Structure 1
Amino acid sequence: MVLRGGLWVSALPLIAVPSLTPLCTMEPSDYSSEIQEDWTNRENSETICTSLKTVVEFLNRFHSSCRTRLAEMDNRLKTLERKMDRLDAHTAYNVTIQEQIRRNAAT
Protein backbone atom coordinates (compact mmCIF):
# COMPACT_ATOMS: atom_id res chain seq x y z
CA MET A 1 0.00 0.00 0.00
CA VAL A 2 1.20 3.48 -0.88
CA LEU A 3 -0.18 6.81 0.32
CA ARG A 4 -1.01 8.94 -2.74
CA GLY A 5 -2.83 12.22 -2.42
CA GLY A 6 -3.98 11.37 1.10
CA LEU A 7 -5.45 8.01 0.02
CA TRP A 8 -4.00 4.54 0.29
CA VAL A 9 -3.69 2.77 -3.05
CA SER A 10 -2.39 -0.64 -3.92
CA ALA A 11 1.19 -0.63 -5.14
CA LEU A 12 0.95 -4.22 -6.34
CA PRO A 13 0.54 -4.93 -10.04
CA LEU A 14 -2.42 -6.98 -11.12
CA ILE A 15 -1.79 -10.69 -10.81
CA ALA A 16 -0.90 -12.25 -14.13
CA VAL A 17 -2.70 -15.43 -15.08
CA PRO A 18 -0.29 -18.08 -16.33
CA SER A 19 -0.46 -18.51 -20.08
CA LEU A 20 -2.43 -21.44 -21.36
CA THR A 21 -0.91 -24.19 -23.42
CA PRO A 22 -1.63 -23.57 -27.10
CA LEU A 23 -4.88 -25.27 -27.98
CA CYS A 24 -3.53 -26.81 -31.18
CA THR A 25 -1.06 -28.98 -29.21
CA MET A 26 -3.64 -30.22 -26.70
CA GLU A 27 -5.86 -33.22 -26.78
CA PRO A 28 -9.60 -32.45 -26.56
CA SER A 29 -9.75 -34.21 -23.20
CA ASP A 30 -7.26 -31.68 -21.80
CA TYR A 31 -9.42 -28.69 -22.75
CA SER A 32 -11.78 -28.95 -19.83
CA SER A 33 -9.03 -29.32 -17.24
CA GLU A 34 -7.11 -26.37 -18.75
CA ILE A 35 -10.27 -24.25 -18.83
CA GLN A 36 -11.12 -25.25 -15.26
CA GLU A 37 -7.61 -24.30 -14.12
CA ASP A 38 -7.91 -20.98 -15.94
CA TRP A 39 -11.24 -20.20 -14.24
CA THR A 40 -9.79 -21.17 -10.86
CA ASN A 41 -6.84 -18.80 -11.42
CA ARG A 42 -9.17 -16.01 -12.50
CA GLU A 43 -11.40 -16.51 -9.46
CA ASN A 44 -8.37 -16.44 -7.17
CA SER A 45 -7.12 -13.26 -8.82
CA GLU A 46 -10.56 -11.67 -8.47
CA THR A 47 -10.74 -12.66 -4.80
CA ILE A 48 -7.32 -11.16 -4.11
CA CYS A 49 -8.18 -7.92 -5.96
CA THR A 50 -11.49 -7.61 -4.10
CA SER A 51 -9.77 -8.19 -0.77
CA LEU A 52 -7.13 -5.58 -1.58
CA LYS A 53 -9.81 -3.06 -2.54
CA THR A 54 -11.60 -3.71 0.75
CA VAL A 55 -8.39 -3.17 2.72
CA VAL A 56 -7.60 0.03 0.78
CA GLU A 57 -11.12 1.39 1.39
CA PHE A 58 -10.82 0.63 5.11
CA LEU A 59 -7.41 2.33 5.31
CA ASN A 60 -8.75 5.41 3.51
CA ARG A 61 -11.71 5.68 5.91
CA PHE A 62 -9.40 5.13 8.90
CA HIS A 63 -6.95 7.77 7.64
CA SER A 64 -9.75 10.29 7.13
CA SER A 65 -11.21 9.57 10.57
CA CYS A 66 -7.82 9.90 12.28
CA ARG A 67 -7.07 13.13 10.45
CA THR A 68 -10.39 14.63 11.60
CA ARG A 69 -9.91 13.51 15.19
CA LEU A 70 -6.35 14.82 15.31
CA ALA A 71 -7.49 18.20 13.97
CA GLU A 72 -10.14 18.39 16.71
CA MET A 73 -7.56 17.42 19.34
CA ASP A 74 -5.17 20.08 18.01
CA ASN A 75 -7.88 22.74 18.36
CA ARG A 76 -8.61 21.66 21.93
CA LEU A 77 -4.92 21.75 22.84
CA LYS A 78 -4.53 25.24 21.38
CA THR A 79 -7.53 26.43 23.42
CA LEU A 80 -6.04 24.94 26.60
CA GLU A 81 -2.67 26.55 25.87
CA ARG A 82 -4.31 29.98 25.50
CA LYS A 83 -6.15 29.48 28.81
CA MET A 84 -2.91 28.47 30.53
CA ASP A 85 -1.14 31.55 29.15
CA ARG A 86 -3.94 33.74 30.49
CA LEU A 87 -3.77 32.09 33.93
CA ASP A 88 0.01 32.44 33.94
CA ALA A 89 -0.30 36.15 33.13
CA HIS A 90 -2.91 36.64 35.90
CA THR A 91 -0.71 34.80 38.39
CA ALA A 92 2.35 36.86 37.48
CA TYR A 93 0.30 40.06 37.75
CA ASN A 94 -1.07 39.08 41.18
CA VAL A 95 2.41 38.22 42.46
CA THR A 96 3.68 41.61 41.28
CA ILE A 97 0.78 43.43 42.98
CA GLN A 98 1.32 41.52 46.24
CA GLU A 99 5.04 42.39 46.22
CA GLN A 100 4.22 46.05 45.71
CA ILE A 101 1.70 45.96 48.59
CA ARG A 102 4.31 44.36 50.88
CA ARG A 103 6.91 46.97 49.95
CA ASN A 104 4.44 49.79 50.59
CA ALA A 105 3.40 48.25 53.92
CA ALA A 106 7.04 47.85 54.97
CA THR A 107 7.82 51.53 54.38
Structure 2
Amino acid sequence: MNMVKRFVALVVLVGSNLLVAPAAFADEVPNPKPNAPDGVKDMADKIIGLLKWGGLAFAIAGLLIIGIKMMSGRDNGRGGRDGIDALGYWAGGMVLVGGAASIVSFFMA
Protein backbone atom coordinates (compact mmCIF):
# COMPACT_ATOMS: atom_id res chain seq x y z
CA MET A 1 0.00 0.00 0.00
CA ASN A 2 2.90 2.31 0.73
CA MET A 3 4.08 1.87 -2.87
CA VAL A 4 0.66 2.92 -4.16
CA LYS A 5 0.74 6.09 -2.06
CA ARG A 6 4.20 6.94 -3.40
CA PHE A 7 3.01 6.37 -6.97
CA VAL A 8 -0.05 8.56 -6.48
CA ALA A 9 2.09 11.31 -4.95
CA LEU A 10 4.47 11.11 -7.93
CA VAL A 11 1.61 11.30 -10.43
CA VAL A 12 0.13 14.33 -8.64
CA LEU A 13 3.53 16.06 -8.50
CA VAL A 14 4.33 15.43 -12.17
CA GLY A 15 0.79 16.26 -13.27
CA SER A 16 0.75 19.57 -11.43
CA ASN A 17 4.10 20.53 -12.94
CA LEU A 18 2.88 19.65 -16.42
CA LEU A 19 -0.14 21.90 -15.96
CA VAL A 20 1.84 24.88 -14.64
CA ALA A 21 4.98 24.67 -16.78
CA PRO A 22 3.36 25.09 -20.22
CA ALA A 23 1.58 28.26 -19.09
CA ALA A 24 4.90 29.83 -18.12
CA PHE A 25 6.55 29.06 -21.46
CA ALA A 26 3.55 29.24 -23.80
CA ASP A 27 4.98 32.12 -25.82
CA GLU A 28 8.33 30.39 -26.44
CA VAL A 29 7.21 26.91 -27.53
CA PRO A 30 6.41 26.50 -31.25
CA ASN A 31 3.38 24.43 -32.22
CA PRO A 32 3.83 23.30 -35.84
CA LYS A 33 1.18 21.34 -37.72
CA PRO A 34 1.89 17.62 -38.23
CA ASN A 35 3.62 16.98 -41.53
CA ALA A 36 4.25 13.41 -42.71
CA PRO A 37 7.43 12.70 -44.70
CA ASP A 38 7.06 11.81 -48.37
CA GLY A 39 5.80 8.27 -48.89
CA VAL A 40 4.84 7.73 -45.25
CA LYS A 41 1.42 9.39 -45.46
CA ASP A 42 0.11 6.97 -48.10
CA MET A 43 1.30 3.94 -46.14
CA ALA A 44 -0.14 5.27 -42.86
CA ASP A 45 -3.48 6.00 -44.55
CA LYS A 46 -3.52 2.46 -45.97
CA ILE A 47 -2.75 0.86 -42.57
CA ILE A 48 -5.34 2.98 -40.74
CA GLY A 49 -7.92 2.23 -43.44
CA LEU A 50 -7.27 -1.52 -43.15
CA LEU A 51 -7.56 -1.39 -39.35
CA LYS A 52 -10.82 0.55 -39.55
CA TRP A 53 -12.21 -1.86 -42.16
CA GLY A 54 -11.20 -4.82 -39.97
CA GLY A 55 -12.81 -3.22 -36.93
CA LEU A 56 -16.06 -2.67 -38.79
CA ALA A 57 -16.03 -6.24 -40.13
CA PHE A 58 -15.54 -7.56 -36.59
CA ALA A 59 -18.36 -5.29 -35.40
CA ILE A 60 -20.77 -6.81 -37.91
CA ALA A 61 -19.70 -10.34 -36.95
CA GLY A 62 -19.96 -9.44 -33.26
CA LEU A 63 -23.47 -8.09 -33.68
CA LEU A 64 -24.51 -11.29 -35.44
CA ILE A 65 -23.02 -13.37 -32.62
CA ILE A 66 -24.81 -11.24 -30.01
CA GLY A 67 -28.09 -11.76 -31.86
CA ILE A 68 -27.54 -15.51 -31.94
CA LYS A 69 -26.78 -15.51 -28.20
CA MET A 70 -29.97 -13.58 -27.53
CA MET A 71 -32.05 -15.96 -29.65
CA SER A 72 -30.65 -19.07 -27.98
CA GLY A 73 -30.41 -17.60 -24.48
CA ARG A 74 -33.46 -19.37 -23.08
CA ASP A 75 -31.60 -22.69 -23.00
CA ASN A 76 -29.05 -21.68 -20.37
CA GLY A 77 -31.52 -20.22 -17.89
CA ARG A 78 -30.39 -16.61 -18.25
CA GLY A 79 -33.12 -15.65 -20.69
CA GLY A 80 -30.85 -14.10 -23.33
CA ARG A 81 -28.92 -11.92 -20.86
CA ASP A 82 -25.55 -13.09 -22.23
CA GLY A 83 -26.24 -11.33 -25.52
CA ILE A 84 -27.74 -8.25 -23.91
CA ASP A 85 -24.74 -7.92 -21.58
CA ALA A 86 -22.38 -8.06 -24.57
CA LEU A 87 -24.34 -5.38 -26.42
CA GLY A 88 -22.91 -2.59 -24.24
CA TYR A 89 -19.34 -3.65 -24.96
CA TRP A 90 -20.15 -3.89 -28.64
CA ALA A 91 -21.58 -0.35 -28.65
CA GLY A 92 -18.54 0.99 -26.80
CA GLY A 93 -16.22 -0.68 -29.29
CA MET A 94 -18.16 0.76 -32.22
CA VAL A 95 -17.93 4.27 -30.76
CA LEU A 96 -14.14 3.89 -30.54
CA VAL A 97 -13.70 2.31 -33.98
CA GLY A 98 -16.07 4.66 -35.78
CA GLY A 99 -15.02 7.81 -33.97
CA ALA A 100 -11.28 7.23 -33.49
CA ALA A 101 -10.22 9.95 -35.94
CA SER A 102 -12.67 12.47 -34.50
CA ILE A 103 -11.66 11.68 -30.92
CA VAL A 104 -7.95 12.08 -31.66
CA SER A 105 -8.57 15.27 -33.68
CA PHE A 106 -10.51 16.73 -30.75
CA PHE A 107 -7.57 16.25 -28.37
CA MET A 108 -4.92 17.32 -30.90
CA ALA A 109 -6.64 20.59 -31.87
> TM-score higher than 0.5 here?
no
Question: In proportion to residue count, which structure has more strand?
Answer: 1
Which structure has the higher relative contact order (CA within 8 Å, separation 6+)?
Answer: 1
User: If the TM-score is normalised by the length of the shorter chain, which range does it land in?
Assistant: 0.3 to 0.5
Bigger radius of gyration: 1
**TM-score, L = length of structure 1:** 0.38
